[in-house]
Each structure stands twice: as structure tokens, then as C-alpha cells.
Structure 1
Amino acid sequence: MIRKARISDVKHLHRLLNAFAAEGKLLPRSLNDLYTNIRDTFVWEDEETHEILGCGSLHIVWEDLAEIRSLAVRNEWQGRGIGARLVQACLQEAGELGIHRVFVLTYEVEFFRKQGFQEVEKHIFPQKIWADCLHCNKFPDCDETALVLDLA
């Protein structure tokens, strides 16, 4: 089941996301960052065990631009459509907010292509670069791929 994240989820999200970061699949997220941006985040919770099996965030970057970030599904639950449904939840919220363009920076290019995203050059997102990328340990040598989906 998909729902908005709660404060009580943050430590679980921190472990999930940073496990993927340790494998080089995501950028690490601090507890402070997760608490500060908790309203951005959706979780997939197992209805029986109430465990967090996946998460994804829609982060607003500018008036017409948002980013899907921190998309992760526990390894043993991948391939069951959880990630795709989390992306759809983010896209639906973007539409409800009137945001017409959503992008990702990712290593999972094929996954996002299957969701309708198209590869683009990173430099077309100057708001992202000045807001977040300057503070990233990979800047200016980012090895992630940028993809975008126009909702309009």
C-alpha cells in the first residue's frame, strides 16, 4: 500500500536509502534531510507486516519543475511493480500541484525509460544545479543520467 511518509518512518527510510547508497546506487541521505523533506516522500508499506518495502520522493525544484528522488525498493521486493507505482504516485501528485515537468538523476536509466521518461542533458536544469548539485560530493563530475517526463 502506498501512503505519505510519517515522522515515525524516517529511521527506516534512512536505513533503506543508505544501504543503497553504500552500494553506490543512490546518494546518501542524512536524518536531517529526511526529517526536513518528509512531506515529499511516499512509502510502500506491507499491509500485513507494516514494514516499509520501498520509498520515493517528489521534490519541487521550481514553479514548473519537480524531481523524483530517493526511489528505492528493498532488493527482495524488486520486480513486483512497487517502484513503478511509487513513481506513479509522485507523478500524480505533480499533476495535482500543477507541475508539468518531472525529472530524475539516476543510474537506473532503463527503469525510468519504461515509465515514459526520456534522456536529456543535465545542464537544462540550472535550478537543480544551483540548489542541490553544488553541495553534492560528485559535483562537478556527476555520473548519473538525467531523464525527464513532460506531463502537459
Structure 2
Amino acid sequence: MLRKAKISDIKYIYRLILHFSKKGDVLPRPLAELYEHLRDFFVYEDKDLIVGACALHICWEDLAEIRSLVVSEEYQKRGIGIQLVEACIEEAKILEIPKVFALTRVPEFFEKLGFRKITKNELPHKVWADCIRCSKFPECDEVPVIKEI
């Protein structure tokens, strides 16, 4: 079941993000930051277990980021990631945010959802504030993708 995150979900979201950040798939997020941004998150729940999460982070009046997309390994390849991203896109539509981007190592996934690759310098510098926390900074291997809504 796909739904907006609740406060009781944060520790599960944190564990998922921590697991995938150790593999280098997503940026680590401190627990306090997750509580502060609870409203950004959607979760996918199966049998009272949070198996996926994704956030829509508003950057500016015309731009939001899809971030922290994680799905437990045993639940991958079931369309859960697609549902999470589509939920973020729908929320961006409701909020009248015309562009949504993501930084990813799997641009093909996002391209299937209507995103297109762009160059890093097409995004505002403010977007790169989180990069300082990345273990791969400044040698980033993520590809920016964007979708106009």
C-alpha cells in the first residue's frame, strides 16, 4: 500500500536509507532531518512493514527534487519504485511545481517515467548543498534528470 509517511514510519525510513547509503546508492540522512521533512515522504507498506520510501523535496517555486528513493532488495522489480516516484510527481502537480528533478546512478529508470538527462550546470547551485555530505564529493557519478510537468 502506498501512502504518505507518518511519524511512526521515520525510524523504518531511516533504516532503509542508512542501508542503501552504506552501499553508496543514496545520500545518508540524519534522523533529525527525516523528522523535519516527514511531510516530504511517501512510503510503501506491505504487511505492516515499510519496504520503500521516497521524498519530494521542494527547492524553489518552480523546482522540486525526488530524493531518497529506496526499496528493500526483496521487494525490488515489483513496480514499487515507480509507484513512489509517480506519487511524488502527482504531488508536484497538486502543488503546481512545474519541474521535478532527481540525481541518480540509474537514469534509465527515470527516463522510463518521462524524465530526460540534463547537465549539472542546468540546475541551480543551491541544489548541490547536500553534495558536501556525500562520500563521492567532488567526484560525483550521479546523473541529473528532469521532468517538466
Task: Give TM-score, length-normalised by structure 1.
Answer: 0.92
Residue 30 (str. 1) matches residue 47 (str. 2) = no
Residue in structure 2 matched with residue 4 of structure 1 by the alignment: 4
Which residue does 1:39 correspond to in 2?
39
Superposed displacement of residue 138, structure 1: 3.6
Q: Does the 8 A contact of 2:63 with 2:99 survive in 1?
A: yes
Q: What residue ranges of structure 2 are gaps of 5+ in the alignment?
A: none
Q: Alpha-carbon deviation of 1:135? A: 5.0
Look up the match of 1:78.
76
Equivalences for residues 31-110 of structure 1 within 5 A = 31-46=31-46, 49-110=47-108
Aligned length: 148
Correspondence for 1:112 among 110, 113, 124: 110
Separation in structure 2 between the aligned mates of residue 27 and residue 19 of structure 1, nearest angstrom: 10
**What value does the CA root-mean-square deviation take over the aligned residues?**
1.3
Question: For the structure 1 residues 134 and 28, does the alpha-carbon distance in structure 2 shift closer, same or farther, using more than 3 Å as the test?
Answer: closer
**Which letter does structure 2 place at the counterpart of 1:5?**
A
TM-aligned CA deviation for residue 137 of structure 1 = 4.4
Q: Flag as ranges the 4+ runs of structure 1 deviating above 4 A.
A: 134-137
| Whole-Å separation in 1 of the counterparts to 2:136 and 2:24 | 12
